[in-house]
Structure 1
Amino acid sequence: MRHRRDLILLLQHGYIWLWMLIFVLPFLATLVYSLRTADGWSLRPYAAIFGSFKDNLLLSFETTLISIVVNLLLSLPAAYAIVRFPVPGKGFILSVLNLALYTPAVVMGISLVIVYNFLFHIAQSLLGLIGAYVVGTYPLMLIPIVVALRDLPTVYEEAARCLGANRLQTLLRVEIPLLGAGISAGILLTFVIVFNEFLVTLFVAGPGNTTAALRVFNLTRTAGIQPSTAALATTMQLVSFVMVVAFFRFFGSRYLKGTYLI
């Protein structure tokens, strides 16, 4: 009986490790390819990260951080209006606000090009690029905050007001900290999506607004998969991985205790 349990346990672990290897294999292959040069194994392809690719990475970070801030500033009041106030047709409004989640990226790109060219006149500009990211990822910030706010009892707000805090103090010192789980989840989702987005970027970005993801696509299309291109792709993978690990390390341990995480 003991040998049977050991065998079942071994098969369970083997099953998990097998699928983990299958999922991770493409990323490992990219890492290995980025280290291959004509002279053998080398880190020289990564020199381009601090050279010709530096501006692309900085632009990706800049647009991602700005998109996160804009999304947060828009989502907090919208979530409060939807959850705390009797807004007529809030279900329909929420569905419209989440429209970007159900729209294919190609359709989103074409629609933004039309609007930016003929209505707002911000086509191929940095403002247009950030606007496209905000439109595409706004629901990813809004939904976690709405869920967190729905689960937050109003007694905390009422207690703070009874103890002399005004509305702004209650919001900043009591409610927003208690919404940390939703806010941090929205930040993580926005970061991962915007930092790695290229399809919508392909439609709306101008010649001087080439993000890291778009640079990888352009180089692969024109010159094939070079070690330096693989190095840039590996760096983007590493940034996203570090972001996710940091989220679960610093936020998960605080907000996700008692859930599926150990």
Structure 2
Amino acid sequence: MTAVTSWAPLRWLRRNAVVLAGLAGLLYLLLPNAVVLLFSFNNPAGRFNYEWRTFSTEAWTNPCGVADMCGSLTLSLQIAVLATLGATAFGTLAAFALARHRFRGRGAANGLIFLPMAMPEVVMAASLGTLFLNMRVGFGFTTILIAHIMFCLSFVVVAVKARVASMDPRLEEAARDLYAGPLQTFLRVTLPLAAPGIAAGALLSFALSFDDFVVTQFNAGPSTVTFPMFVWGAAQRGVPVQVNVIGTAMFLIAVGIVLAGQLTARRRGRSTA
């Protein structure tokens, strides 16, 4: 009996090895966010917020206490929202075209979609910057927005295309059999079915655009400073605590959106069950 009971923990570890490994990986990924959250309540003695000193909520009560930080944050949010709208609109149309229609060059188009995702980001950033220089376009808000849409487009196409490919076409055929027109079928059947993929592509596009530095650095004007560029410049002089506050707030908002989506999906599943 002693030998049997001594092996019981080992058997439990074997049964739950995958779950434990997944939890360990998740904790490892969330550890930097926990550190950022912790040091957002720090009151550093010098310019660098690397060592814990005393607990303080000053950075949370005055997040715009650093000059130009909230201006750069507003600019990043504006670009991220507009880039998300543009990339989601064009990417959704391209995904439906690639998934539902056969045309000449379809295989080449599928391959080209993956190029921005496969190539180094600096290559795309330099290419777009060279294009704007040759076209003699002034660098600034517009060039950053165009570059971000081009950068995020591939991710939206992949997300939406995967969702469209898994949709059952018989549901749309049933709607047409019930005398629904093309527009009515798209709005009431096709679009709701594709909505999870579109939402995933939009969220990914927003995160990539808001967080991007390399593409922005190559296509920004001298007076255009986004939030990642502000953080990069501030890191050379000392990152203020407010940067941790903004990072924590964005992380919590993202987690809240994901949880809200999961709860909504569960409620819909229960209502249809």
TM over 0.5: yes
What pairs up with 1:168-187 in 2 under 5 angstroms? 168-187=183-202
* Equivalent residue, structure 2, for 1:96: 112
Residues 44-85 of structure 1 show CA distances to partners (whole Å, capped at 9, x for unaligned) of 123453454322222222222211211122122222222222
Matches of 1:247 and 1:132, distance apart in 2: 29
Q: Does 1:160 align with 2:175?
A: yes
Q: Structure 1 residues 210, 181: closer, same or farther in 2, change over 3 A?
A: same
2:238 equivalent to 1:242: no
**Unmatched runs of 5 consecutive residues or more in structure 2:** 46-52
Change (3 A) 1:180 1:220: same
Q: Distance in 1 between matches of 2:267 and 2:119?
A: 34
Q: Percent identity?
A: 26
- Aligned mate of 2:35, from 29, 37, 44: 29
Q: After the TM superposition, list the runs of 4 or more consecutive aligned residues in structure 1 that deviate by more than 6 angstroms.
A: none
8 Å CA contact 1:181–1:251 kept in 2: the answer is no
Structure 2 counterparts to residues 1-150 of structure 1, below 5 A: 1-2=4-5, 4-6=7-9, 9=12, 12=17, 18-37=24-43, 38=45, 40-51=54-65, 52=67, 53-119=69-135, 121-123=137-139, 125-150=140-165
One-letter code aligned to 1:236: M
Separation (CA, whole Å) in 1 of partners of 2:193 and 2:241: 46
When the two chains are superposed, the root-mean-square deviation of aligned CA atoms in Å is: 2.7
Give distance in 1, aligned partners of 2:213 and 2:81. Answer: 16
How is 1:216-231 mapped onto 2 (pairs within 5 angstroms)?
Answer: 216-221=231-236, 223-231=237-245
1:32: how far off?
2.3
Further displaced range: 18-27 or 94-103: 18-27
- In structure 2, C-alpha distance between the alignment counterparts of 1:152 and 1:14, rounded to whole Å: 33
Larger radius of gyration: 2
Question: Which residue of structure 1 lines up, in the alignment, with residue 48 of structure 2?
Answer: none
Query: Is the 1:109–1:203 Cα contact (8 Å) retained in structure 2?
Result: yes
Q: Does the CA-based 8 Å contact 1:219-1:229 persist in structure 2?
A: no
SS of alignment partner, residue 179 of structure 2:
coil
SS in 1 for 2:104: coil
CA distance in 1, matches of 2:266, 2:145: 28
State the TM-score, normalized to the length of structure 2.
Answer: 0.80
Q: 1:42: how far off?
A: 0.8
Q: Hey, what's the Cα distance between the residues in 2 that align with 1:120 and 1:217?
A: 27
Structure 1's unaligned 5+ residue stretches are 256-262
Q: Residue 140 of structure 1 contacts residue 190 of structure 1 at CA under 8 Å; is this kept in 2?
A: yes
Relative distance call for 1:113 and 1:47 in structure 2 (3 A) is farther
Determine the structure 2 residue equivalent to 1:199.
214
In structure 2, C-alpha distance between the alignment counterparts of 1:219 and 1:242, rounded to whole Å: 29
What whole-Å deviation, never above 9, does each CA across 1:12-55 have from its counterpart, x for those lacking one? 57766554443333222222222221482111123453454322
The one-letter code matched in structure 1 to 2:122 is: V
Aligned partners of 2:205 and 2:8: how far apart in 1? Answer: 43
2:64–2:242 Cα contact (<8 Å) kept: no
Match of 1:189 in 2: 204
Moved more, 210-219 or 245-254: 245-254
Q: What is the Cα deviation at residue 122 of structure 1?
A: 4.2
Once the two structures are TM-superposed, the CA of residue 100 in structure 1 deviates from its matched residue by 0.7
Q: TM-score, normalised by structure 1?
A: 0.83
Q: 1:95 to 1:195 in 2, by over 3 A?
A: same
